[in-house]
Structure 1
Amino acid sequence: MGIIERKQRQKDDTRLRIVDAALKIGKEHGWNALSMRRIGDIIEYSAPIVYEYFSNKDALLIELIRMGYRKLVKQLKAINKSHESPVKQIEALWQVYWDFAFAEREFYQLMFGIDTSCACHTLRLPEAEQPEALISEAIRRLLPNRENTDEKVSELYYTFWSIVHGLISLNMVRADIPKSLNGQVLTSALSGVFRSIATD
């Protein structure tokens, strides 16, 4: 390996260590505790070195948000089209979404600004649009031709999303909601949307 390649690998390794340290802080202390100085302490570099890789805290948070969406999309793609029935496919996709939110809690909180403050949430990241695209594709399969418009698909996506994300958010700020109740509410809410489509 040449000098240039070795230096690039060292840079890549340092960048990864910075991201891992940030994730560790987010998991252990919450995203509001994140600082470049704290990251530097963990990886045993000075804060100015950290700034060589990320211009500011928001730049680092954007990288983490992108990582979170890539993880979610990978899981959604793994289950996508695993059911012939559009209803079952949509249910499975939202279940994956739900499971991701709690398995990757810190990523989810950061992705949607739950208990975090970051100017980056005003940005439109390409990664952030992929979950909607995948789930909307399944919704299209559900709709009859006369209703299969971009507007209707978007309306239904945001109806589903507001239910699922709303319930997830409640659980993240309230630890006393029984798991069994969550399942019942989620199933009933999704079923209600499916029924409204059938009766339109």
Structure 2
Amino acid sequence: MPRSAQETERIRERELRIVRTARQIAEQDGWSAVTVRRLADAIGVSQPILYRHFPGGRDEIVERVVIDGYTELAAAMRVPGDGADTLPALVAAYLAFAREHPAVYEAMASARTGIVFASSETPAILREGFGMLERAVGGESDRDRAVRAELLWSTLHGISQFAAHDRLDAALDDVREDAVAALFARHP
């Protein structure tokens, strides 16, 4: 039986609330605290209702957080300009996102999900974000561009992880961002 527009909106709103609450709990208490029971209690629904929205339970909710996180990261990395002109702003946007959303970034970087990377099955938003990295670093061939983008992504991830665990001097953030952009700048 077809759903009314009002019912469809109510379902969408509840799903957004579930995901938002999972993010809030993770930011406050870590991902291990995000359980179906705690989520159901926090939003005032029964566990079966939560499973009706996310049949895969917690894993499906975390996967949604990961996709939403990559969507938000891609939006943050959309900076004016094209190619190498965008590299410093893209580096700064990536690192700011990881710093401002530590639990979401943690899920994006390390949660076990069914999301496939570096494949034709990779969700479009992930391919779009990686494409931004590729365009920013350039390269002589598709393969060279992909490797350079992977190296930039790995570098940004490493910086994000060290910063999240207070292993880097925050006073050097701007200098570090400029240095990363210089390392990956296109060479004639």
**TM-score, normalised with respect to structure 1:** 0.79
CA distance in 1, matches of 2:39, 2:163: 29
The equivalent of 2:91 in structure 1 is 94
Q: Identify if the C-alpha distance between structure 1 residues 5 and 188 changes in structure 2 by more than 3 Å, giving closer, same or farther.
A: closer
Q: Deviation at 1:121?
A: 5.4
Matched letter for residue 191 of structure 1: A
CA distance in 1, matches of 2:90, 2:136: 9
Q: How does 1:183-194 map to 2 (within 5 A)?
A: 183-194=174-185
Q: Deviation at 1:139?
A: 2.7
Q: How does 1:151-190 map to 2 (within 5 A)?
A: 151-172=143-164, 174-190=165-181
Q: Deviation at 1:122?
A: 5.1
Match of 2:136 among 116, 138, 141: 138
Q: Identify if the C-alpha distance between structure 1 residues 185 and 12 changes in structure 2 by more than 3 Å, giving closer, same or farther.
A: closer
Q: Identify if the C-alpha distance between structure 1 residues 99 and 127 changes in structure 2 by more than 3 Å, giving closer, same or farther.
A: same
- Structure 2 residue runs of 5 or longer lacking an equivalent are none
Q: Identify if the C-alpha distance between structure 1 residues 7 and 155 changes in structure 2 by more than 3 Å, giving closer, same or farther.
A: closer
- Percent of pairs with identical residues: 20
Provide the secondary structure at the position in 2 that maps to 1:119: coil
Q: Deviation at 1:34?
A: 0.7
Alpha-carbon contact 2:85-2:136 (below 8 Å) kept? no
Matched letter for residue 178 of structure 1: D
Q: How does 1:34-53 map to 2 (within 5 A)?
A: 34-53=34-53
- Say yes or no: does 1:104 pair with 2:101: yes
- Say yes or no: does 1:150 pair with 2:145: no
Alpha-carbon contact 1:61-1:120 (below 8 Å) kept? no
Q: Identify if the C-alpha distance between structure 1 residues 179 and 41 changes in structure 2 by more than 3 Å, giving closer, same or farther.
A: same
**TM-score, normalised with respect to structure 2:** 0.84
> Highest CA radius of gyration, 1 or 2?
1
Match of 1:118 among 94, 99, 112: 112
- Compute the RMSD of aligned alpha carbons: 2.3
Provide the secondary structure at the position in 2 that maps to 1:96: helix
1:83-103 deviation digits (Å, cap 9, x = unpaired): 6xx544212111111111112
CA distance in 2, matches of 1:34, 1:157: 32
- Structure 1 residue runs of 5 or longer lacking an equivalent are none
The equivalent of 2:32 in structure 1 is 32
Higher relative contact order (CA 8 A, sep 6+): 2
The equivalent of 2:187 in structure 1 is 198
